[in-house]
């Protein structure tokens, strides 16, 4: 398992976000087939017919501009536009808080994996290596073995998980993309800080990809 081996898989999520608007009725599966072709070509180091296609650019343009409007100067010193709320230096993480995050994340990721498994139009998102429930289970067991008290999922997590199951596929794909992208982008930076502060630098399985 590798802490940083995920860019190719994230390319699929970027494409999915763009394709979500087209996922209506009989057109649902076609955008997902395009995702698989894009990811396969990327995984082969750019070889094959798909390698001639230009890279998706909106991540570094429109999407980046929109994201920076939501970041503070502490989070993004050069581009952040929001005022700082709680200075990072005053943030005091705890193992109990980390445990709660892992437990709540397990609930949400479990719901997402259940939805992907149940909907034929999302079949290409199965068994990608992005699944997080098993790594989270291992991490929760690890913290418990080291004396951290087990946590109960919060209502925020369970309510959100329930809501996801009511969404039509295009709307669900948008949530799927945003949730995964958040945890594999800025979430990794926060995870590193938590690892250094609470786990003597150890990297949890949640932040490792096959």
Q: What is the mean pLDDT of the chain?
A: 76
- pLDDT of res. 178: 87
Q: What is the mean pLDDT of residues 165-172?
A: 94
Instruction: Please state the pTM of the whole predicted model.
Output: 0.69
| pLDDT tens per residue, range 116-132 | 999 999 998 898 888 99
- Give me the percent of the chain exceeding a pLDDT of 70: 58
Q: Tell me, what's the pLDDT at 152?
A: 97
Three-class SS state of 209:
strand
Q: What is the pLDDT of residues 73-94, one digit of tens each?
A: 666 667 776 776 655 556 788 9
Q: Which of 83-87, 134-138, 144-148 has the lowest mean pLDDT?
A: 83-87
- Whether the pLDDT of residue 113 is over 70: the answer is yes
The arithmetic mean of pLDDT across residues 34-43, rounded, is 40
CB crowding 2-38: b at 16 or more within 10 Å, else e: eeeebebbbbbbbbbbebbeebeeeebeebbebbeeb
Rounded Cα distance, 192 and 166, in Å: 34
Name every residue whose Cβ is closer than 8 Å to that of residue 80 and which is 6 or more positions away in sequence: 68, 71, 72, 73, 74
Nearest to 51 by CA among 64, 66, 41: 41
What local confidence, expressed as pLDDT, does residue 39 receive? Answer: 39
Beta bridge partners of 11: none
Q: What is the mean pLDDT of residues 152-168?
A: 97
Name, of 34-43, 45-54, 122-131, 164-173, the range with top average pLDDT: 164-173
Q: Which residues of 72-93 are buried (b: 16+ CB within 10 A; e: fewer)?
A: beebbeeebeeeeeeeeeeeee
């Amino acid at each position: 398992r590798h802490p940083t081996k995920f860019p190719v898989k994230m390319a699929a999520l970027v494409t999915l976000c763009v394709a979500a608007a087209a996922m209506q009725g009989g057109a649902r599966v076609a955008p997902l087939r395009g995702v698989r072709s894009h990811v396969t070509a990327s995984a082969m180091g750019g070889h094959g017919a798909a390698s001639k296609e230009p890279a998706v650019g909106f991540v570094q343009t429109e999407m980046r501009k929109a994201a920076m409007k939501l970041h503070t100067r502490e989070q993004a010193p050069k581009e952040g536009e929001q005022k700082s709320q709680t200075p990072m230096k005053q943030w005091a993480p705890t193992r109990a808080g980390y445990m709660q995050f892992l437990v709540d994340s397990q609930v949400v990721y479990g719901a997402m994996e259940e939805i992907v498994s149940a909907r034929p139009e999302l079949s290409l998102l199965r068994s990608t290596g992005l699944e997080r429930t098993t790594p989270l289970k291992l991490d929760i067991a690890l913290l418990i073995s080291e004396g951290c008290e087990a946590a109960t999922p919060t209502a925020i997590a369970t309510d959100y998980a329930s809501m996801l199951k009511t969404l039509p596929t295009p709307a669900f794909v948008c949530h799927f993309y945003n949730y995964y992208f958040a945890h594999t982008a800025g979430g990794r930076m926060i995870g590193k800080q938590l690892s250094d502060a609470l786990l003597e630098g150890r990297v949890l399985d949640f932040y490792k990809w096959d």
